[in-house]
Amino acid sequence: MDKVSINQLSCPMPELDFEIITLGHGSGGLLSNQLLESGVFDLLSNEYLDQHHDGATINLTGRTAVSTDSFVVSPVFFPGGNIGDLAVNGTVNDINMCGARAKFLTLSFILEEGLTMKAFWEILVSIRNTANEAGVKIITGDTKVVERGKGDQIFINTTGIGEVHPTAQIGVSQIKTGDQIIVSGPLATHGVAILSVRQGLEFETTIRSDTRHFNHIVPPLMEAFGSHIHLLKDPTRGGLASVLNEVCRDSRKGIDLLQTAIPVLDEVNGACELLGLDPLYVANEGVFIIFADSEVVPGILEYLRQCEGCEMVSVIGAVTSDHAGQVVMQSAIGGRRVVNMLVGEQLPRIC
């Protein structure tokens, strides 16, 4: 299902006798129950959640991937999505980066007193639609409410559970000198989309977040290329530069990057120039990085080019035994420079 049709899966908010979230909705008592029974349970209904127990029981066999993320993005609604989409996609992707297909998600909210039920409902509908589209089930959850001024509208934690593909041998210890480094799509789109609507920084742009999951993309990739894929990474906070530096540090190898091969949308590049940002350090959502044996790279490129959001897939560099621990980039004008990890905080609360 493509993005347009997902967004059309609207779901009208039920008639409620309250319009805003209050502390009582986190009490565990009558108001908590009213909130959940108001339509939340119906909206997210499945055979696990319908048990209304403190936890869920699932059946699993074999290697299982687990990942957790708390989402604090600000603003909560942004061009191309909201914190709900992000909380589903982000954790599904972390599972995918283990060479796995995400199957289950837990969902935990910290709501700020005063959040409108309308905003909460819209986020819940996004969560439901994104989870359905990814084919993951929300199996258990939790809702807390904090006083006004002790939170920021809504924080969401999702924890994902998935099945690791039988052939997957993913890990920083697997990468080898000569491995090619592929990025699945253009960098910095998500970070710039958030920044474009950040209070005090609004600027005119049509850039939308590329938030998406790889639950339908990574499993076939593992099926086709198995242990030839050595590492998968999603370059979220800290951007491509920070993630590649971590890989260099942990693998004790070097990385050569080719600046001209790194895809960035023209308007994202323009916005970065305007704001003095380097796309290498801007947070990403809808792209991932592959370290793979060079012989399978043509096959990976051919496969990814026909996947939605990966049309601009590109080989951006390679692993080297030179300059261990360092990322070195050949720039567009020919010089070479060391690319360091992000220092400080370029863009807080981007996911």
In terms of CB distance, is 78 or 155 closer to its own copies?
155
Least Å from the CB of residue 49 to its own copies: 12
Least Å from the CB of residue 300 to its own copies: 20
Q: Helices 117-134 and 83-96: crossing angle, nearest 10°? A: 30
Least Å from the CB of residue 147 to its own copies: 7
Q: For 214, what's the count of Cα atoms within 13 Å in the CB-facing half-sphere?
A: 30
Contacts of 232 (CB under 8 A, 6+ apart): 96, 97, 98, 99, 170, 218, 288, 289, 290, 291
**Distance in angstroms (rounded) separating the CA atoms of residues 255 and 104:** 35
In terms of CB distance, is 74 or 205 closer to its own copies?
74
Least Å from the CB of residue 127 to its own copies: 14
In terms of CB distance, is 150 or 305 closer to its own copies?
150
Question: Can you spell out the DSSP letters for 153-202?
Answer: SEEEEEEEEEEEPTT---SGGG--TT-EEEE-S-SSHHHHHHHTTSTTT-
In terms of CB distance, is 5 or 340 closer to its own copies?
340
Least Å from the CB of residue 64 to its own copies: 5
In terms of CB distance, is 61 or 306 closer to its own copies?
61
User: Cβ(20)–Cβ(117) under 8 Å?
Assistant: yes
